[in-house]
Amino acid sequence: MSLSPNENKEISEVLRDFGFNEKDEQVYLCLLSKGQTTLSPLAYELGLPVSTVQSTIKRLVDKGVVDVSKHKTRSLYEASPPNVFKHILKEQAKGIAGIIPLLDKLSSDPLTTPRLRVFQRERITEILNASLECKHKVVYEVISAKDFQDVIGEKYHYTRRRVQAGVELKSLRVRSREIKKYNTRIHTRERREARFLPPELDFRSSFLFWDNTVAFLSTKSEGLHWMVESESVREMYEQLFKLLWSVSGKMETLASEGSTKVQL
């Protein structure tokens, strides 16, 4: 069965989060499609040196995603069923849960002064996850949708996660960089109020704020994002947001609901 480019990209992004490099991904996916095989045919199909495939398989065996068995004098390799990733995550979660009380003992009292954190490239999900845990259950954003999607990738479905978390969204969007179509029913279903910014505003970066936190997202090519916890900074951006909201227009680009699925 063939997959779409976006589906392949999503698989690649998730496997990278599991610590896979490019060779790990190639070998694992080839094993998954071939079933049980030996080293030489696998290396031949991938067009890689046997030594490279051998060292890669050793890493995958150590990760617990490839099984090895013996048939006479030959080693047979087979990709573990995809559900193995769920079991790995469960074990990791148990391990983390076990050390949280110990980490709490080392943690200092919460800071009352402003705090700035800088994130690079793949760590952008830390910002998004933090927004989903907001106390007031509402996130505000001024966003260039196309660039935002490029930054977060295909695997992180922010709207779906936000709706599941019961978090409302107030969104101001750059019209020229919009990538989806919406109407009132979609906005309601996805717990969103949205307006288009005035057409002369055509920027590529985005910012979000919630509670006492403001987060800034640059472009994928720049790969630098940051988040600041500050009541005074949040107050300033809230006032700017209200001003922009008052001069922005209705955002309805879809006449009927149809089957559009929004996964930003």
Domain layout of the chain by residue ranges: 5-79, 115-250
Quick check: 259 pLDDT over 50? no
Question: Which 3 state secondary structure label does DSSP give 219?
Answer: coil
Q: Residue 262 — pLDDT band, cuts 50, 70, 90?
A: very low
Tell me if 141 sits within 8 A of 206, measured CB to CB: yes
| pLDDT tens digits along 190-210 | 999 999 999 999 999 999 999
Which CATH superfamily groups domain 115-250? Endonuclease Chain A (3.30.870.10)
Across the chain, mean pLDDT equals: 87
Supply the CATH classification number for the domain 5-79: 1.10.10.10
| pLDDT tens digits along 59-84 | 999 989 999 888 878 889 999 888 88
| pLDDT tens digits along 152-179 | 887 888 999 999 999 999 999 999 999 8
CA distance 137 to 167: 5
Beta-carbon contacts of residue 157 (< 8 Å; ≥ 6 apart) = 263, 264
Whether this prediction's pTM lies above 0.95 is answered by: no
CA distance 26 to 32: 10
